[in-house]
Structure 1
Amino acid sequence: MKKAVVLLSGGLDSATCLAMARDRGYQCYTIAFDYGQRTRSELDAAKRVSAALGAVSHRVIELGMGNIGGSALTDHSIEVPEEGGDGIPVTYVPARNTVFLSLALGLAEVVDAEAIYIGVNAVDYSGYPDCRPAFIEAFQAMAGLATKAGVEGRPVTIETPLMHLSKAQIIQAGTALGLDYGLTVSCYQADENGNACGKCDSCRLRKQGFDEALVKDPTNYQ
């Protein structure tokens, strides 16, 4: 059976990616990152989603990105914004997806996976530069050059099935696959039980997505 590594944050998008990969016939190896983020409850959510969708294994990799700082998600001295704005927001974590994909690429080589699934999105992407198609294309080229699999002519493919979908379309797709979004946590500042603030950009996009998808929002709010 073909294999895929799925980056799983515990949020809505990555959970949908896992459901899609499974639906496409992949044995899935999920990977989450404890990178110093504000909310630990998303790691609990990732574990729940991985188990519910029958992943072969679930790994949590510890990273010290909180030691670098520079983001409202890793530096508690920077407030999480509760209104959208222009430009790259302070919730951007410097080089996060570059680091995440690099480690996922290593795991893909170890388990002999042919694909990596990541839930980046160019529609509702909050202005993050490492969620754009150009970034994925560049990383794909690098993956072909920097790995044993790539040199041997079987490069790992970076799959981005959500890239051009709206949040509503993502929710509709996951719902059609039977995904329980009540298992997920998207909030930038959820409490230890996973209850969402209902005010941050991530909550705003999630709420709007459920409204536009005409799907009941299962989120627990503070």
Structure 2
Amino acid sequence: MADNKRAVILVSGGLDSTTVLAMARKQGFDCYTLSFDYGQRHRAELLAAERVSASLGDVEHKVVKLNLDSIGGSALTDTGIAVPEEETSGIPVTYVPARNTVFLSIALGWAEVLGADDIFIGVNAVDYSGYPDCRPAYIAAYEAMANLATRAGVEGHNLRIHAPLMDMGKGEIIRAGIALGVDYSLTVSCYQATGEGLACGRCDSCRLRRQGFVDAGVPDPTRYTAG
């Protein structure tokens, strides 16, 4: 790979996106990390995103302000909707309407400005919560659209949306990250983390994360609230 090949990495501060950042670095990309202050209730993730980006050697970390809470429709952006602490069927209320489409669109714009042909996102279709914008068909469709809708695509650049975790279980993801030197104690995954980043241990994201460390056979470094 040529030197100074750039990529935009969507980094939420959670376990999956941090692993993806480590993978992109391993592939030799200069990583420009992108996070969103979108009105989420679990804002400790923004501090975590900054921490993991710095720890894994990003070139630049950018936080874009969005107001997805102004339209609501999700337990993650509307404090009037409770975060479920029991398993549910179907698409859960923690789904944020069109979130990955919005996020990828901003990432695509920044990639064009940077002259980057590669965008990495930590979506996963194995251990996930049933979100429609985490499926292989969605990523393939978005990549096709990106190449149709941008100057870079029209001028012959092959824009790629990388989702390296798509077919991996949470335990596999954790093992891969540890092999790449990821410090998961820096990450926050909880849907209702405290301002200090303490996890509830009960929401869907916490359950998947906790089971992932069990499956990986490594100690869980997550800091949980008491009780």
Residues 50-92 of structure 1 deviation map (CA, whole Å, 9 limit, x = unaligned)? 0001100000000010000000000001000011111000000
User: Could you tell me which amino acid in structure 1 is paired with residue 212 of structure 2?
Assistant: G
Which position in structure 2 is the counterpart of 1:150? Answer: 153
Is the aligned partner of 1:202 residue 2:205?
yes
User: Could you tell me which amino acid in structure 2 is paired with residue 104 of structure 1?
Assistant: A
TM-score, with structure 1 as normaliser: 0.99
Which position in structure 1 is the counterpart of 2:114? Answer: 111
Which position in structure 1 is the counterpart of 2:74? Answer: 71
Q: Secondary structure at the match of 1:30?
A: strand
Structure 2: which 5+ residue stretches go unaligned? none
Structure 1: which 5+ residue stretches go unaligned? none
Tell me how far apart the structure 2 counterparts of residues 186 and 46 of structure 1 sit (CA, whole Å): 11
Q: Secondary structure at the match of 1:93?
A: coil
Determine which of 211, 217, 222 is the counterpart of 2:220.
217
Matching of residues 140-179 of structure 1 within 5 Å: 140-179=143-182
Tell me how far apart the structure 2 counterparts of residues 125 and 155 of structure 1 sit (CA, whole Å): 29
Tell me how far apart the structure 1 counterparts of residues 105 and 21 of structure 2 sit (CA, whole Å): 18
Tell me how far apart the structure 2 counterparts of residues 85 and 94 of structure 1 sit (CA, whole Å): 18
Is the aligned partner of 1:193 residue 2:196?
yes
Matching of residues 34-49 of structure 1 within 5 Å: 34-49=37-52
TM-score, with structure 2 as normaliser: 0.97
8 Å Cα contact 1:143-1:155 kept in structure 2 = no
Residues 141-170 of structure 1 deviation map (CA, whole Å, 9 limit, x = unaligned)? 100001111001113200000000000000
- Report sequence identity in percent: 68
8 Å Cα contact 1:108-1:156 kept in structure 2 = no
Is the aligned partner of 1:122 residue 2:125?
yes
Q: What is the aligned length?
A: 222
Tell me how far apart the structure 2 counterparts of residues 134 and 51 of structure 1 sit (CA, whole Å): 32
Tell me how far apart the structure 1 counterparts of residues 158 and 61 of structure 2 sit (CA, whole Å): 23
Tell me how far apart the structure 1 counterparts of residues 108 and 159 of structure 2 sit (CA, whole Å): 7
Residues 84-106 of structure 1 deviation map (CA, whole Å, 9 limit, x = unaligned)? 11100000000000000000000
- 1:25: Cα distance to partner? 0.3
Runs of 4+ in 1 over 4 A off after TM superposition: none
Tell me how far apart the structure 2 counterparts of residues 92 and 181 of structure 1 sit (CA, whole Å): 24
User: Could you tell me which amino acid in structure 2 is paired with residue 192 of structure 1?
Assistant: G
Tell me how far apart the structure 1 counterparts of residues 213 and 86 of structure 2 sit (CA, whole Å): 19
CA RMSD of the aligned region, Å?
0.5
Q: Secondary structure at the match of 2:7?
A: strand
